[in-house]
Structure 1
Amino acid sequence: MLNNFMAGPQLSLRVATVLTGLLECIAFSGLIFGWTSLVFVLKSDHYFEDLCEQPVNQTSNTTRHSECSTQDSKFSLIFTLASFSNNFMTFPLGYIFDRLGTTVARLIAIFLYSGATLLVAVSSAGTAPMLFAAFPMLAVGGILFLLTNLQVGNLFGKHRSTIITLYNGAFDSSSAIFLIIKLLYERGLTLQISFFILCTFSIWHLIRTFFLMPRGHIPFPLPSNYSYGATSFLSIDCSRGADRSQETKDEEVRKEKVELSQEANAPSPDVQQETARTDKSDPRSFRGCVLSWRFFWHLVWLSSMQLWHYLFIGTLNPMLNSLARGNQHLVSTYTNAFAITQLFGVLCAPWNGFLLDGIKKKFQQEARKKGFPESMADLHSTFPSLTVTSLLCLSFSICATIPILKLQYFTFILQVISRSFLYGGNAAFITLAFPSQHFGKIYGTAMMLSALISLLQFPIFIFIKGPLQGDPTYVNIGLILFTLLSFVQPFLLSRQWRHQEKQV
C-alpha cells in the first residue's frame, strides 16, 4: 500500500530531479568556459588597462583591445588558474562528496558560487585583482554542481550513460551564459548587475539541494524501495540510519551477485587468471584503481586533449584580434559565433551516450555467448567512443592551427563536438571501468592530475607572445603530436578484448 502511494510522488520527483539537474548544469556549472565572451566585456570596462603602455581605448575602433600583450597575459593567467582549479580541486571535493554526501558537497558549491559571483559584482577596473579569486571559485563551484548531478543517471539504469553525457554536454553549453552577459552589456546592462542576478540564483540551488537531491548518494543499482529528497519524509525508512543500512545491504547484495555471476560465467581457469590480470583496478581498493595502467592511459587520453581545449579558449581573444587585424567588429562577431556554438554542446554530448549504451548491449550479448564477464564487455564498449573523441580532437587541432579567419567557424563546430564527447566520455568511462563506490575519488583524481598538465597553457601563451613573436604555428604542431597519444587508450582496450577472445 505504501509503495503504491509512494510510486507517484517518486516518479514525479525523479523527473523533476533530472530536469532541474539539466537546467542547473546548462545555466551554472561551466560558466568559466565562456571566458572569451567575458574577456571582451572586461576589456571594454578597462580591467587591467592601466598595465598597457598606451591605453588601448585611445586608439581607433579598428585596433581597440589589440595591442596590449600585458593585459592579455593577465586574462590568460586568470583563465589558467580557473581551469586548473576546476580540475585540481575535483579530487578533494570528490572525496568530500563520497564521504559526507550530496548535501554537504552542494552547500560547499553554493558557497563558492555565491562568493564568486558577488566578488565580480562588486569589482571594478580599480579592483581588477579580485578576479584572480573570483573565477577559480566560480570554476570549483561549477564542477561540484556537475559532480553531484552525475549520480542522477543512477535513477535511470538503462539510460545511465546517456544522462551522464547529457549533463556533461549541458556543462559545456553553460559557457554561453557569458555570451548572454556580453549581449546584455552591449545593450546597457552593466557587468555588475548581471553578476548580482547570478548571485540571487543561490536561493534556487538551496531549494533544489534540500528537496530534489538525496542527503547521501543515489546507489547503483537502484533499490526498488529507494526514496530521497521530498518523498523521503513520507517514507517509513527515511531516517539517516535506515538509509545507510539499506544502502549497505544493497551494496552487499550487489557484490554477491557480481561474484556469483563471475563464477558462473568463468569458462576456464585460464580466463579467470586473465580477467584477474586485466582487471586489477576492479578491486575494491581505490589505490589499486589509480595505480593501474588503465587509469594511466585514460589520464593521458584526457590530458592530451584537454590541454588543447583550454589553450584554445584561453587564447581565442588574442588569436581573433591577430587574425582580424584588430577589427573589433569582426572580433565581436566571431566571439559571438564561438559562444553560440557552445550552446549545442548539450545536443552533441548525448550522441556519445547513445553510442555507449547501444554498443554496450551488443558487446554484452557477445560476452554471454563467449563466456567471459560482462564487465569486460562494458569496458570494451567504450572503444568506439574513445576513438571518435580522439579523431574529433585531432581534426579540431589541425583546423585551429591553420591561420584563416573564416575557417574558424568550422573550428568552433569541431571544438564543441570534441569537447562534449571528451567530458561525457570521460565520466562514462570511469563509471564503467572502475567500482562505483570510488567514482567521486577516481573522477576527482583524473581531473586533478590532468589539471597539472593544463597549467602548461600559461607558459605556452608567454612563449608564443615572447620568443615566437605571436606566431603559434610550431607550438600547435607540437600539440598535435601530443594529441596523437590519445589513441593509445582505445588501442589497448581493443587489444585487451582480442586477447580475451583468444583465451576462450
Structure 2
Amino acid sequence: MLQCPKGFGVRQMLTLITGMVECLCFAGIVFGWASLVFILKTQGYFGSHCVNSTEIDGSQVLDCSGQDEQLSGVFTAASVMNNFLTLLTGFIFDRFGSFVVRLLGICLYISGTLMLAFSTPALSLLLFPALPLIAVSGRIFLITNIQVANLFGDHRSTIITVLSGSYHSSAVVFLIIKLLYESGIPIKASFLFMAACSIFHVLRTFFLLPRTLIPYPLPQNYTYGFSCGKSSKPEESVNDGTQKTTDQMETAEEEPAKPEKTFRECILSRFFFFCLIWFSVIELRIYLFIGTLNPALHLLTDEDSSLVSQFINAFAFTQLCAVLCSPWNGFIMDRLKRKYRDAGMKGQEAELNSTVVSLFLASFLALLFSISAAIPVLLLQYFTFAMQVLTRAFLQGTLAAFVSVAFPPCHFGKVYGLIVTLASAVSLLQYACFVVVESLLDGDPLYVNIAMAVLVLFSLIHPVSVFLHCRKLASQQTQQVSLEKIQQ
C-alpha cells in the first residue's frame, strides 16, 4: 500500500476524477433505455409479437403492442434487479470491502455487455439477463464510488451528489450507441468495445481504491491504493492520532460518546420507513416514464418515427445535464450545514438539518415532473425531460447523503441497499401500469400519469418528518440551555 502522504492530494483527485468517469460512462447506462429500445425495434427484436389487426374501417394495420410489452418487460426486469440486488451488494460491501464487491461488479458488467453484443432478433430473450446484469454492476460502481466523498471532509455532500449526477448522466451512452448505429456502426461492435473497457474498472480497483472501506473521518496520514513503499498497516493511519474534519471535531467536543445503533434499530426507525416511501414513489414515477417513453411518443407524434427519434435524442441529451445539476444539490447541503454550525448546532444535527431542503426539493420537482408528464402536449415534453433530470439528480444524491448522515457509517451499505431493494418491489408496479395502459386505456397513459402525480404527494411525508424531528431537537436543546442557566 502507498506510504507517500505528500502525494495524497494528487491521489485524491485522481480517484475522484476517474470515479466520475466510471459513473458517467458505465454505471447508469441502463437509464438510456429509450435510445437503445429504438435500435432494438428497428432491428426487429421481439418482432414476432407484432400481428396484423383490422381497424373499424376495415383497413389492415400492424399492431406491435406485444413487442412494446416485451421490451417494457426487459426494462422492468433491469430496473427491479438493479434495486433488488443492491441489498446483497451492500452487505458484501460492508463485510468484505471495495475490492471483493467491485470484482463481482466487473464480472457482471462483462457478462451483460457480451450478451448484448451477441444478441440478435432470433435471440431476443438474451436481453432479459443482459440488461439486469449491466444495471446491477452499475449500482455496484456507484456504491463503491460514493465512499470517495469521505476523502473530501466538509465537501462530502457535494462530492456524493457529483458522483450521483455522473451516474444518471451515463444514460447518454446509449444515445451515442444509437447515433453510431445510424452512422453504420453495428451495436455488436459498440458493446464489444464497452466490454473491453472493463480494463479501466480493473485498474481503478487495484490502484485507486482501498481493498476495504474509506473511513470517515479519515485517520491522519491515511493512504490507500498503489504503493511507493510497503506499509506495515495498510490503509490505516501512520500513527495513533486522528485528523478529523471540522464537523467531526465539533461533534466529538460537544456530544458525549453514544453507542451506535444496531442494524435492526436502523431499519425499525421512523427515518428508514419514511425514507423508503419517499424514495419508492419517486423512483416508480421515474422508471414508469422511462419505460413507457417510446410508446408514449409514438402516440403523441401519430407514429411519426423521425419525430420520435428526434424527441428520444433530446431526452438522452438532457440526461447528460444531470452531472451539471447534481452538484447544486450538494452545494445547498454543504452551505446549509456550515450555516447551521455557525448558528451553534452540533455536527450531526447540522448535517441532518441540511438535508431537509434537498428532501423537499426532490419531492417538489417530482410533483412538477409528474404533472408535466400527465399533460398530452408534445412540445411540453421538453420541459418534462428537464424536470425528470432534475428530479433524478436530487433523488439519488439526497438519498445517499441522508443515509450517510442519519445512520451509522458501518451500516451505510446495508441501509442504502435495503431501501433500494425494497423500492424494487414497488417498481414492479410499472409493468402492471404498462399493461393497464395497453390493455384497458388503448395506449393512452393519461389516467395513469394523473394517478402517479397524486401518489408522488405521499413523498412529502419524509421531508416533513425530518423537519419536525430537527425542530424537536432544537426545542430540547433550548430547554436544556434554559435549565442550565436556572441551575447556575
Q: TM-score w.r.t. structure 2 length? A: 0.91
Which SS does the other structure have where 2:303 is aligned? coil
Of residues 6, 29, 32, the one that matches 2:30 is 32
Once the two structures are superposed, residues 257-276 of structure 1 have per-residue CA deviations (whole angstroms, 9 ceiling, x without a partner) of: 95663139xxxxxxxxxxx9
Once the two structures are superposed, residues 111-168 of structure 1 have per-residue CA deviations (whole angstroms, 9 ceiling, x without a partner) of: 0000000011111010110110100000000100011000000111111110100000
Of residues 95, 100, 115, the one that matches 1:99 is 95
- How far 1:398 sits from its partner (Å)? 0.3
> Does 1:425 pair with 2:418?
no
- How far 1:468 sits from its partner (Å)? 1.7
Q: C-alpha distance in 1, partners of 2:243/2:402? A: 21
Aligned equivalent of 1:404? 377
Q: C-alpha distance in 2, partners of 1:34/1:138? A: 12
Q: C-alpha distance in 2, partners of 1:86/1:467? A: 29
Kept after mapping to 1: 8 A contact 2:110/2:198: yes
In structure 2, what residue type is equivalent to 1:351?
Answer: W
- How far 1:237 sits from its partner (Å)? 2.8
Pairwise CA RMSD: 2.5
Q: C-alpha distance in 1, partners of 2:313/2:237? A: 52
Aligned equivalent of 1:13? 11
Q: C-alpha distance in 1, partners of 2:93/2:240? A: 17
Q: C-alpha distance in 2, partners of 1:15/1:245? A: 20
Closer, same or farther: CA 353–25 of 1 in aligned 2, 3 Å = same
> Does 1:234 pair with 2:229?
yes
In structure 2, what residue type is equivalent to 1:263?
Answer: P
Kept after mapping to 2: 8 A contact 1:219/1:247: no
- How far 1:304 sits from its partner (Å)? 1.1
In structure 2, what residue type is equivalent to 1:185?
Answer: Y
Aligned equivalent of 2:130? 134
Which SS does the other structure have where 1:230 is aligned? coil
In structure 1, what residue type is equivalent to 2:448?
Answer: V
Q: C-alpha distance in 1, partners of 2:306/2:72? A: 22
Aligned residues: 469
Could you list the runs of 5+ residues in structure 2 that have no partner in the other structure? 54-59, 479-488
> Does 1:341 pair with 2:314?
no
Could you list the runs of 5+ residues in structure 1 that have no partner in the other structure? 56-62, 265-275, 277-281
- How far 1:7 sits from its partner (Å)? 3.1
Once the two structures are superposed, residues 200-252 of structure 1 have per-residue CA deviations (whole angstroms, 9 ceiling, x without a partner) of: 00111111110111111111101121111013x5243344xxx4798999699
Which SS does the other structure have where 2:444 is aligned? coil
Which SS does the other structure have where 1:289 is aligned? helix
> Does 1:303 pair with 2:265?
no
- How far 1:374 sits from its partner (Å)? 2.9
Of 21-30 and 388-397, the range deviating more from structure 2: 388-397
> Does 1:332 pair with 2:312?
no
Aligned equivalent of 1:162? 158
> Does 1:86 pair with 2:59?
no
> Identity of paired residues, percent?
45
Closer, same or farther: CA 399–247 of 1 in aligned 2, 3 Å = farther
Matches within 5 A, 1:301-380: 301-368=278-345, 373-380=346-353
Aligned equivalent of 2:51? 53
> Does 1:458 pair with 2:451?
no
Of residues 174, 184, 189, the one that matches 2:185 is 189
- How far 1:365 sits from its partner (Å)? 2.5
Kept after mapping to 2: 8 A contact 1:227/1:235: no
Q: TM-score w.r.t. structure 1 length? A: 0.89
- How far 1:457 sits from its partner (Å)? 0.2
Closer, same or farther: CA 361–47 of 1 in aligned 2, 3 Å = same
Of 329-338 and 491-500, the range deviating more from structure 2: 491-500
Of residues 261, 270, 286, the one that matches 2:254 is 261
Kept after mapping to 2: 8 A contact 1:101/1:216: yes
> Does 1:483 pair with 2:453?
no
Kept after mapping to 1: 8 A contact 2:372/2:384: yes
Which SS does the other structure have where 2:213 is aligned? coil
